[in-house]
Structure 1
């Protein structure tokens, strides 16, 4: 069965002056324009192609790779807005439409947004939506605390940042869990902090338990040994410097230094940290 808005393996059944026709099964023939066909392409070959409708509702195949297929999220830029909605650069020759009914707020030309790409059963076309909650799960019963996940930062709120989890769920990163700059559209790794009683998902970038603190303490010792036993990264250093070096918040770093100082493994002053050998 032909999957519109996704990659398909289709057989070449006919060659014409402007390209090749591929076998789309019950959906009929699919045109692969010459500019997208391999030079050695011939009748009988099987091609791996992405299938979509052109502006005249014809089925078109391309070897271009879109920035997202159906049922995926992506960070796409608006290239134009008209009376039917906003058109986004999809990474292929044809732009993708976000109808006004699928916009949480008016979209502006030149601005990028996180959208979900879907197949519209009513129109038979591929479209996109900023209404992520209509397509993604907000309850995470199958996630485990401390599970590493892929995140796509998709929005801000008074409480923190919203993120798409593994392309299928939505979760929240609270403000006090953010120790490095985040931007909408950024892809990053994170962790499931907890699944709340209402099954909503809280996310984080680090843990504050004894195991995490011990791991950080050993990283600090390793870093000191690699730099001759002295580091200028103290508890007075900026949060940005600390995050860049150890990918943790300043508060977590200070606690790890404090623990090492109590264990008499380091000396601390305002300008440096010194390893006690």
Structure 2
């Protein structure tokens, strides 16, 4: 795997007035500028660095952490546009280049875009908002219930488009959203369904027996902390339920119903109360 655009742990081979040289098996000696050299660094030390190319197309190292690496997605701001493309702030001195040919429509300074970072055919780091060129919409490797990391890419008519583990694209339906969703934010989520057409739908919380049991115990603990009852029931407004427990009303009602069937709670007009244990004789 090419080291450019990724982090690496490299050994210091040489120390000079303008910085230190690090040894990489593929690139050979790579300069870490003096301004980035940690205090007390000496020949033989090992440093964690990010490798990229400077304005002269020469491999260089930095101890800074970029906002994205090759093979990942990120939500980045455009800081400049010229005759060949746009440039994004990704936390390094040299801005990240997006060629015009990769832009769906001309990018604008000051706006944020979800992009995928890749190496172009010359070995230089670049970015593209055309995610489908690098992330697959079809999958044969995912399974329902599988934990994944989601990056929210933008809105669709049905919900939100999400990058899944920086390798696939999926859809988060509006009906599975019960909290404010922010474009460019990463969320822990799950594969909800692998559809017949091979495409993926995702969710932020599973509605299965295990999660219902966990929510049920959460409700029981909530009531115990409040003297054995709570001012919530199956008629409570969805926004109040979400604010208190972080779940949809549908999920809340299913967990509550399970507790009722287990005879652990009493469903009252305005409240839900824990069933008091029968005293032993």
TM-score w.r.t. length of structure 1: 0.87
Following TM superposition, by how much is the alpha carbon of 1:221 offset from its aligned partner in structure 2, in angstroms? 2.4
Q: How does 1:198-213 map to 2 (within 5 A)?
A: 198-209=197-208, 212-213=211-212
Equivalent residues of 2:265, 2:272 under 8 A apart: no
- Give the paired residue count: 275
Q: Deviations over 1:44-66 (max 9, x none)?
A: 54433212111222222111111
Q: Deviations over 1:111-148 (max 9, x none)?
A: 22221111112x32101111111111222211111112
Per the alignment, residue 173 of structure 1 pairs with 172
Equivalent residues of 2:50, 2:62 under 8 A apart: yes
Report the Cα distance in structure 2 between the residues aligned to 1:192 and 1:70, rounded to whole angstroms: 24
Q: How does 1:1-277 map to 2 (within 5 A)?
A: 3-24=3-24, 27=27, 29-121=29-121, 123-209=122-208, 212-258=211-257, 260=259, 263=263, 265-270=265-270, 272-277=271-276
Following TM superposition, by how much is the alpha carbon of 1:161 offset from its aligned partner in structure 2, in angstroms? 0.8
Following TM superposition, by how much is the alpha carbon of 1:200 offset from its aligned partner in structure 2, in angstroms? 0.7
Report the Cα distance in structure 2 between the residues aligned to 1:157 and 1:171, rounded to whole angstroms: 11
Report the Cα distance in structure 1 between the residues aligned to 2:39 and 2:211, rounded to whole angstroms: 55
2:94 is paired with a residue whose SS is coil
Per the alignment, residue 279 of structure 2 pairs with none
Following TM superposition, by how much is the alpha carbon of 1:42 offset from its aligned partner in structure 2, in angstroms? 3.8
Equivalent residues of 1:2, 1:25 under 8 A apart: no
**Which sits farther off after the overlay, 205-214 or 55-64?**
205-214
Q: Deviations over 1:197-244 (max 9, x none)?
A: 121111123344555445433432232122111212344444333223
Equivalent residues of 1:267, 1:275 under 8 A apart: no
Equivalent residues of 2:153, 2:161 under 8 A apart: yes
Equivalent residues of 2:187, 2:204 under 8 A apart: no
Report the Cα distance in structure 1 between the residues aligned to 2:6 and 2:264, rounded to whole angstroms: 59
Alpha-carbon distance change, 207 to 25 in structure 1, aligned in 2, over 3 angstroms: closer
Following TM superposition, by how much is the alpha carbon of 1:252 offset from its aligned partner in structure 2, in angstroms? 2.5
Equivalent residues of 2:232, 2:241 under 8 A apart: yes
Report the Cα distance in structure 2 between the residues aligned to 1:26 and 1:204, rounded to whole angstroms: 41
Q: Which runs of 5+ in 2 are unaligned?
A: 277-281
Report the Cα distance in structure 1 between the residues aligned to 2:11 and 2:264, rounded to whole angstroms: 71
Following TM superposition, by how much is the alpha carbon of 1:20 offset from its aligned partner in structure 2, in angstroms? 2.6
Alpha-carbon distance change, 105 to 249 in structure 1, aligned in 2, over 3 angstroms: farther
**Which sits farther off after the overlay, 161-170 or 47-56?**
47-56
TM-score w.r.t. length of structure 2: 0.86
Q: Which runs of 5+ in 1 are unaligned?
A: none
Alpha-carbon distance change, 7 to 215 in structure 1, aligned in 2, over 3 angstroms: closer
Q: Deviations over 1:78-130 (max 9, x none)?
A: 22222222211111222111112222333222222221111112x32101111
